[in-house]
Amino acid sequence: MIPLSDAEFIIIGGGAVGCGVAYSLARAGKTDVLLIEKAADVAQATSAQGAGLCGQPRPTAERTRLAMHSVHTFRELQKDPKVQPEWHEVGSLRLALTEKRAQEFRQLKSVADEVGLETELIHPGSAARLCPSLDFKGATAILWCPSDGYMRPYAVASSYAYQCRKLGVRIATDTTVENILTENGRVAGVATNRGKAACRYVINAAGAHAYHLARLAGIELPIVPVRHEYYVTTPLAGWTPELPCFRVPDLTLYGRPCEGGLLLGGWEPKALNTDPRSFDLAGEPPPVVPDWEVLNHFEKQFAPILGQTRISEKARVGRGWPTFTPDGRFIIGESRRMKGYIMAGGCNAHGISGSAGIGRLVVESILEKNPSPYLHSLSPDRFTETSWTWEQARVQAAHVYETYYGV
Ligand SMILES: Cc1cc2nc3c(=O)[nH]c(=O)nc-3n(C[C@H](O)[C@H](O)[C@H](O)COP(=O)(O)OP(=O)(O)OC[C@H]3O[C@@H](n4cnc5c(N)ncnc54)[C@H](O)[C@@H]3O)c2cc1C
């Protein structure tokens, strides 16, 4: 266990986001960084459960660029043979089953063209050559993005941590932040179960506990944990690791090859969410028990696309409480309410694929005199300087989840 020490930056939380932020700071030359994680290792909470897909085509140029930066970083991390994110740049296929969706894909393609992301609208025959295990006959459009892919979420956080340590970042595991220390409206440090550490900036990347740690600094943010699940089958003939990821938004499904079988997940039409005020900083959100009704429904929905493949046994279920915000946007940047208090949360289930891009935005928020309008739109101030109720916030955050693939 490393000794606790003062630092310029203290990051709370060693999930994909906290580790991605630490890596971005270190790459920007800011290496006086202490990352504090309460578990014995990085990526033990939500990040451990992620499906690991990274899709770059997005409805806006800024969001697409953010994902492209993450892919660029995963490639870079993959070059170090010692600890790799297990990044598989296998491409992704997006299937439309309606004309409205096909129109959305044309729009995604035009945004991709604008920012220089290679994508192509391809015919079912070409898609079948890329992924012989799926049936593309009913598709009204298919969008192919060759530089998309998947990774192992724990491996991503570990490879960030490995590179960070080489650059001088200190990572204190088995250490719990219990309070935020302030002085004259500015962050002064943190109190932990192992003592105090002073700092100039606190970066809150505490996932499902980001609400509680913001509250300790007097910042009330609607960061709503919403349940999400997928399953992985036992090995299936034909589902080799180099097959592309796929998304069928009209069926609200996504998947990829995984552990010799298929990983299949989806967005439920009625999302289960939890009020972060119902558990405290020292507690945990309720355990997520596999919901077989939901998981079997994914399988039923998926059947027409699966062609000849018959789903074998389900080997394991991935599940957890990724956090959602009422407007579906990340919460990134310094709070007007507390100088030096920086948010990196509310990831809307993009925290692994977005980790490097989020890290870059956090660095921009600290180092840039004139942050971009996009970064400004992610500010925590949009919630602290307006009025909202928890009831509304939960309904809206659940709606963001339920319409994840909304046109
Ligand atoms: C089933 C499922 C599938 C998903 N699929 C994908 C996907 O394909 N692609 C994708 O990009 N995202 C996916 N997500 C979402 C993704 O997992 C999250 O967005 C991401 O893991 C959030 O990372 P994080 O670092 O913010 O949170 P976490 O991983 O939860 O990390 C927060 C950390 O803070 C620590 N912490 C909390 N309180 C304290 C404290 N007081 N002191 C010290 N440490 C503390 C916790 O121990 C934890 O390690 C999925 C999520 C689920 C559940």
**In 3-state terms, what secondary structure has residue 90?**
coil
Cα angle, residue 299 at apex, residues 297 and 300 outer, rounded to 5°:
65
Residue 330 Cα, ligand 1 centroid: separation in angstroms?
13
pLDDT at 407: 83
Tens of pLDDT, residues 289-339:
999 999 999 999 998 888 767 776 889 999 999 999 999 999 999 999 999
Cβ(12) – ligand 1 distance below 6 Å: yes
Cβ(247) – ligand 1 distance below 6 Å: no
Q: For a ligand 1 pocket test, name from 347, 361, 405 the mutation site with the most ligand atoms within 8 angstroms of its C-beta.
A: 347
Cβ(207) – ligand 1 distance below 6 Å: yes
CB atoms within 10 A of CB 406: 12
Cβ(17) – ligand 1 distance below 6 Å: yes
Tens of pLDDT, residues 217-231:
999 999 999 999 999
Cβ(51) – ligand 1 distance below 6 Å: yes
Domain segments of the chain: what residues?
A: 7-50+153-224+326-402
Cβ(26) – ligand 1 distance below 6 Å: no
- Report CA-CA distances (Å) from 103 to 92, 106, 342, 399: 18, 5, 38, 23
pLDDT at 307: 73
CB-CB contact of 403 with 249 (8 Å): no
Does pTM surpass 0.75? yes
Question: Counting Cβ atoms within 10 Å, is residue 183 exposed (0-12), middle (13-18) or buried (19+)?
Answer: exposed
Domain 7-50+153-224+326-402, what fold? FAD/NAD(P)-binding domain (3.50.50)
Q: Which atom of ligand 1 is nearest to the CA of 320?
A: 53
Give the pairing of strands 195-204 and 7-12. Answer: parallel
DSSP classification of residue 269: S
Tens of pLDDT, residues 104-154:
999 999 999 999 999 999 999 999 999 998 999 999 999 999 999 999 999
Residue 193 has phi, psi (to 5 degrees) of: -70, -10
Taking only Cα atoms into account, the Rg of the chain, rounded to an integer number of angstroms, comes to: 21
Tens of pLDDT, residues 87-102:
999 999 999 999 999 9
Q: What is the mean pLDDT of the chain?
A: 96
Residue 47 Cα, ligand 1 centroid: separation in angstroms?
4
Tens of pLDDT, residues 239-276:
999 999 999 999 999 999 999 999 999 999 999 999 99
Cβ(36) – ligand 1 distance below 6 Å: yes
CB-CB contact of 14 with 33 (8 Å): no
Q: For a ligand 1 pocket test, name from 47, 325, 400 the mutation site with the most ligand atoms within 8 angstroms of its C-beta.
A: 47
- Report CA-CA distances (Å) from 319 to 150, 226, 230, 287, 365: 17, 10, 7, 9, 32
DSSP classification of residue 151: -
Q: Which atom of ligand 1 is nearest to the CA of 205?
A: 26
Tokens for 257? 């090859």
Residue nearest to atom 41 of ligand 1 (CA): 177
Tens of pLDDT, residues 12-64:
999 999 999 999 999 999 999 999 999 999 999 999 999 999 999 999 999 99
CB-CB contact of 314 with 260 (8 Å): no
Q: Which atom of ligand 1 is nearest to the CA of 254?
A: 8
